[in-house]
Structure 1
Amino acid sequence: MFAFAVKAGKFLKPITDYQSYRCYMQEFYEERKRTDSFTWREYARLAGFSSPTYLKLVCEGKSSLSEAGIGKVADAMGLKGFDYVYFRYLVQFNQAKDDESRKKAFGAMQEVAKSKKIRVLDGDAYAYFESWKNPVLRELVTMMPGATPEAMAAMCWQPVSADEVCASLDLMVKLGLLQKKGRNVYVQTDKALVGNSDAIPVAVRTMHREMAALAQKSIDAFDVNDRNIMGVTMSVDREAYEQIVEELLSCRRKIASIANASRKPDQVYRLNLQLFPLTKKI
């Protein structure tokens, strides 16, 4: 499972504990150097590269690995089997040019880890942020104590299956966002979900896209008395932008406190606060 053993008998951490292949390569180098005077030249030679500083530049983020280079470096570090495959997907994830490619690579990382019954760092948090269903069901489940998954699914305006409801609730219990108190009875916890890996922003952006798409649908789907959509187009400088962001944060906190004070909540709403550029800088 581990990449290599050093003379002192210590090992690198499992590769699934790493968020960056560059960090993994760097720690391989540092551990080898600590035990047998390893050099960047020797590292590059083992991987079959002529430049003695190439892998140093890769670890510093100043260069990247090609598809062929991934295999060379993996071989140089003694990676085999699961570690070899996972390292390849980790490189693809870190070097992806867009969110869709990152999601594909991270999904592959999760699948190969699942086959070995190994958890990917922040994999569960990623799953929560990836879909709009999870925060919606977290709110809905507390308003429908004892309701079946089928009944909860029927209450969502967007299509959701009973199986998806069950999977979402199980995930949130696992993450500590919900506590199960009885058959189909859950309560929310005060736990804040925090993820540290590079995958989390990808999942959050996916959720933002989904929520923005639902907001667009709501324009035609709901009466003006049941939804409120407004906006203002304006010209600003950076200082004004920062002040507006602070006002939006303050407004969001105030709205959250109003919602938390609801005595008998009976519906789940989504508030999107969107501030984005419409032109290039002059």
Structure 2
Amino acid sequence: MKPIFEYTDYREWLRDAFDDFKQRKTVISWRYMAMKMGADPGNLLRVSQGKIHLSTGLIQPAADFFELDEKETAYWTEMVYFGRAKTDAEALQHYERMQALKGVSLKLLAKKELEFYRHWYYNAIRSIIGICKFKDDYEGLAECCTPQITVEEAKSAVQLLHELNMISTDRDGFWKVNDTFVSTGGNWRSAAVRQFQKDTIALAGESLERHAPHLRDISTVTMTFNMDDIQLIREKINEFRSDLLRLSQDGSGDNTVFQLNIQLFPLAFVKPLQEKKK
């Protein structure tokens, strides 16, 4: 089983830890574990299935059951709160603490550095550099982007990424991506980030004409829900996004940079309709 610090989804870790414990110790069940933790067996199983969240009162009992040390317990605690977060600001706060416990640097962007979110291709070029060898072929780098950018834009992007310490050169002069997580700190919902999101959403619309169907997956569906279920839906979207991020991080031989936009928004708030009088 991989170390707990390689997880960001507490439910995934809980399932893996349960399976690992069962192999190392003895044959156990969710009911046995729930009894040791003072939890409801049915609820604990539903937590592992992603149907409900783990109660905060069970964070420490779970840590004790799996014999986590002090640092692992601290990470486990932040991971649960990260999974339970209801706002971006709250999620970021716990995510930052998780990264700090892992010993990974988390670069907080100052106002000047929010330039990173000003153009969509900054992030794209950072991803390109992460999967291919690039030294000074700015024309080729510009041509990689879709839509294609100018050579000057490619150069300015590389310069900015370097200034932010997001990329650096190796001994042979090739650019490489630094292991630096970037957030906007307290300005998580800044105008710059919203503009970045608007730009990538616009690119998704343009992709309908720019790219062949087999290169994209853009679909629409109109659904009805009870507003009380929206938080659950957001959690499902977050889990789906996390699964794809793990797939991206675990993959090898990557040769394409994709942008994923998941768009969920209300089209109408239904009120009781008056019956037309005949």
- Tell me the residue number matched to 2:231: 242
Whichever residue aligns with residue 243 of structure 1, its letter is L
Whichever residue aligns with residue 210 of structure 2, its letter is A
Mapped to 1, the partners of 2:266 and 2:178 lie a distance apart of: 37
Shift of 1:191: 1.6
Length, aligned pairs only: 162
- Tell me the residue number matched to 2:39: none
Whichever residue aligns with residue 232 of structure 1, its letter is V
Q: Structure 2 vs 1, CA of residues 253 and 186 (structure 1 numbering), >3 Å: closer, same or farther?
A: same
- Tell me the residue number matched to 1:31: none
Mapped to 1, the partners of 2:255 and 2:173 lie a distance apart of: 18
Percent sequence identity is 20
Mapped to 1, the partners of 2:152 and 2:161 lie a distance apart of: 14
Mapped to 2, the partners of 1:281 and 1:182 lie a distance apart of: 62
- Tell me the residue number matched to 1:136: 124
Mapped to 2, the partners of 1:229 and 1:210 lie a distance apart of: 16
Mapped to 2, the partners of 1:150 and 1:182 lie a distance apart of: 23
TM-score by length of 1: 0.53
Per the alignment, in what secondary structure is the counterpart of residue 136 of structure 1?
A: helix
Q: Could you report, residue by residue, the CA deviation over 1:245-282 in whole angstroms, capped at 9, with x for unpaired residues?
A: 00111110100111122211111111101111111353
Q: Could you report, residue by residue, the CA deviation over 1:202-240 in whole angstroms, capped at 9, with x for unpaired residues?
A: 011111111111111111222211100123211122321
Shift of 1:183: 6.2
Residues 1:158 and 2:158 are matched in the alignment: no
Residues 1:188 and 2:174 are matched in the alignment: no
1:176/1:189 contact within 8 Å kept: yes
2:121/2:145 contact within 8 Å kept: no
- Tell me the residue number matched to 2:101: none
- Counterpart among 221, 244, 252 of residue 255 in structure 1: 244
1:143/1:266 contact within 8 Å kept: yes
Whichever residue aligns with residue 123 of structure 1, its letter is K
Q: Structure 2 vs 1, CA of residues 274 and 134 (structure 1 numbering), >3 Å: closer, same or farther?
A: same
1:178/1:186 contact within 8 Å kept: yes
- Tell me the residue number matched to 1:212: 201
Residues 1:171 and 2:160 are matched in the alignment: yes
Residues 1:145 and 2:116 are matched in the alignment: no
Whichever residue aligns with residue 164 of structure 1, its letter is E
- Tell me the residue number matched to 2:59: none
Residues 1:228 and 2:217 are matched in the alignment: yes
Whichever residue aligns with residue 137 of structure 1, its letter is I
Shift of 1:137: 0.3
Q: Structure 2 vs 1, CA of residues 185 and 212 (structure 1 numbering), >3 Å: closer, same or farther?
A: same
Q: Could you report, residue by residue, the CA deviation over 1:98-123 in whole angstroms, capped at 9, with x for unpaired residues?
A: xxxxxxxxxxxxxxxxxxxxxxx813
Q: Structure 2 vs 1, CA of residues 129 and 200 (structure 1 numbering), >3 Å: closer, same or farther?
A: farther
Q: Structure 2 vs 1, CA of residues 134 and 249 (structure 1 numbering), >3 Å: closer, same or farther?
A: same
- Tell me the residue number matched to 1:122: 110
Shift of 1:153: 0.4
Q: Could you report, residue by residue, the CA deviation over 1:14-53 in whole angstroms, capped at 9, with x for unpaired residues?
A: xxxxxxxxxxxxxxxxxxxxxxxxxxxxxxxxxxxxxxxx
- Tell me the residue number matched to 1:78: none
1:145/1:185 contact within 8 Å kept: yes
